[in-house]
Chains A and B, each alone.
Chain A
Amino acid sequence: MIPFDQVTGAAAPMMAPNVDTDVIMPKMFLKGVDRGGLSEGAFNLLRFSGGRPNPEFVLNQDGYRDACFLVVGPNFGCGSSREHAVWGLQQLGIRALIGTSFAGIFNDNCANNGLLTISLDPLVLTELAEVAADSSRNEVTIDLAAQTIRFDRGRRSIMFDIELARKEAFLTGRDFIASTLVFADDIHAFEARYRAENPWIG
């Protein structure tokens, strides 16, 4: 996964509730066998219209084309488990999503790839959404080590919560499989006991 420490860039607002992974990565882009080539797919049906960039879509507008943060509505990433949605967002240059709540599988997929998700109180998020909506002052810095979001040229700062294990994984870009395989003996021991207790599970 991609490590996340401190990142500065433009934030774009996308405040609709329940933005689902079909919208983030439509089915036409799920036909690969690798993780690449997905930047075109990200928000494809919203970003493009008749083969050309749709000027109504926020990431096609001045001040947002290079956005690396999205300020999003509740339950972002609901629906299908497709991890392609996360890969596509990353390939589009998105490094973090700031919202109030994220769908479960999507949130795990983000964590497994280094796409930071930050959940804020709705009132606090409203403030950040106002900043993102104004392209003249939408530069934001996320400092994961300090657990802060800074904006308005550093004049304002918001603290955010993140579980310690999750924070450390993001900071180090950890390989979770390698970390788990350190516990291979525990897994073997568990299996031996579990199979003895549940012999009908072959």
Chain B
Amino acid sequence: MAVRTLYDKLVDAHVVRNLDDAGLVLLYVDRTVLNEYTSPQAFAGLRAAGRKVWNPKAALMVVDHVNPTAARRTRAMPDSAAARQVDYFAENARDFGIEYFDILDPRQGIEHVVAPEQGLVMPGMVIAAGDSHSTAYGAFGALGYGIGTSDIEHYLATSTVRYRRLKTMRIDLSGRLPLGVTSKDIVMEVIRRIGADGATGYAVEFSGPVVAGMSVEGRIVMSIMIVEAGARGVVIAPDQKVLDYLKGRPRAPKGEMWERAARHWLTLASDPDARFDREIALDVSEVAPLVTWGTSPDQAIAVTESIPDPAQQSAPDRKAAASRALRYMGLTPGLPIQSVQIDFAFIGSCTNSRIEDLRDAAEIFRGRRVADGVRAIVVPGSSQIRGQAEAEGLAKVFTDAGVEWRQSGCSMCLAMNDDVLRPGERCASSTNRNFEGRQGPGARTHLMSPAMVAAAAVTGHITDVRSLLEGSRQ
């Protein structure tokens, strides 16, 4: 057989049949995770047509987008519309026989945190789900990608999706990661280089020694955030770290079956001579902590830099977009980004709410206080992570520093619940979208790593986290 990329192998292994001779296939999907806001119309469609769910055991339903994150957890929702969504979600779980983690379930959390935590995500799978950040599963050697509600309905009814093969892009990461620079900064650096549409139409494979040395959690961060360059699917070849992450998880195979699965999983990789449609190489030794200044995730600079002048953009539409972004953000060209004062600091989201992220943030908050005039919240990715962070003493570090320690959910990543900024408020945020109005109408979002958010929270302005790391060692 011809040499193939890992992406091609995963697609080939899931083709039920070809639908045309131009690469359109009926693709078998192993698993999905459903949330309360993109799934209701899919279930309504099934009900209207009198259709069943093909394989209810392959789906998991988790409330995460609309729920409050207040420290005391109850079933109460922020408003009647959210309550209706959650009620209908539960009704659909019951009527279609799908496993459901409600808001009080100790396994509840953000879908992309919960599915791996439960061991539902395994190498070699195809996982399509109704959220753009479903590329998270690429970190496990599964092909993960996001779909809309019509495709959720199609998946539920048939266990398949109509799928057109993507072009392939390899992002090879080499070099030594500097102190204070994280997986978040690497992926933000890639996005600023290739642009918000640089990976549109591509499946991305991350590879190289930096990936091999990176934790599974770090790989998840990159797998999720490369969506902001338009990537439609992500894969990373599974290794011993992935096996160590999965072993013993509730839904992972056990005993002899584990040994058999693990042997197969370690064979999943791109062939050495496989060709990619586009290759990108990045030496991470040169990467600095990144911060966005605009309203698109590619409008980012190193924390040591100043706000760029839109006049330097050559294309007129890009120039206009940059000017508009600066107006919206209330910033002027030439201003050092570190002089920008913040009102709010948010650590959370499927991108950066895992235990490692909380440890990074806690290292900065330890022995320091949130600056006057700044409100800071930490929203863990799942109830299990919340428990782990409390057991490790991280929660106490946060509360001692004056940070609000919350329950899990998507929260201020998209502000569909009651965690919403007021117009004009400026937020240092560990999320991955800085779109206009994303965290509330008129709200201003600066994307950065969790440690960088913590640094901004304690100084009151955007800050190079490396200065605090060095200070804390003296």
Contact = CB atoms under 8 A, between A and B. Distances in A.
20 contacts: A16-B321, A17-B296, A22-B437, A23-B437, A31-B81, A31-B416, A33-B40, A33-B41, A103-B197, A104-B201, A112-B148, A165-B24, A176-B154, A180-B26, A181-B158, A186-B17, A198-B124, A198-B261, A198-B264, A199-B260
A103 B148 CA distance: 12
| 4 residue pairs, one from A and one from B, having the closest CB atoms | A31-B81, A112-B150, A75-B197, A109-B148
A17 B147 contact: no
Nearest to B199: A104
A113 B150 contact: yes
Interface residues of B, number: 77
Interface stretch (B125-133, B212-220, B272-280, B453-461): B125-133
Contact of B66 (A31, A104, A191): A31
Interface residues of A, number: 54
Contact of A23 (B19, B131, B318, B435): B435
B391 interface: no
A104 B167 CA distance: 12
Given A17-B321, A164-B20, A81 B154 contact: no
A101 B167 CA distance: 15
B51 A33 contact: no
Interface in A172-202: 176-177, 180-181, 183-184, 186-187, 190-191, 194, 198-202
B281 to A, nearest CB: 24
Interface of A: 15-18, 20, 22-23, 26-27, 30-35, 45, 73-75, 78-83, 86, 101, 103-106, 108-109, 112-113, 163-165, 176-177, 180-181, 183-184, 186-187, 190-191, 194, 198-202
Contacts of B306: none
B380 to A, nearest CB: 22
B50 to A, nearest CB: 12
Nearest to A80: B132
Interface string B257-274: 110110010000000000
A122 B19 CA distance: 30
Interface in B321-339: 321, 324
Contact of B148 (A79, A108, A187, A202): A108
Interface in B392-436: 414-416, 433, 435-436
Given A79-B435, A177-B153, A183-B16, 14 more contacts: A16-B321, A16-B324, A18-B298, A20-B433, A27-B415, A45-B441, A81-B38, A83-B38, A83-B41, A104-B200, A108-B151, A187-B158, A191-B28, A194-B28
B90 interface: no
A180 B436 contact: no
B257 A200 contact: yes
A187 B20 contact: no
A187 B416 contact: no
Nearest to B156: A177
Contacts of A82: 37-38, 148
B49 interface: yes
Contacts of A183: 16-17, 26
B81 A32 contact: yes
B203 to A, nearest CB: 10
Contacts of A15: 317
B85 A165 contact: no
B358 interface: no
A82 B133 CA distance: 12
Contacts of B144: none
A191 B26 CA distance: 13
Nearest to B84: A33
Given A30-B37, A75-B230, A164-B20, A187 B159 contact: yes
Contact of A31 (B79, B147, B157, B318): B79
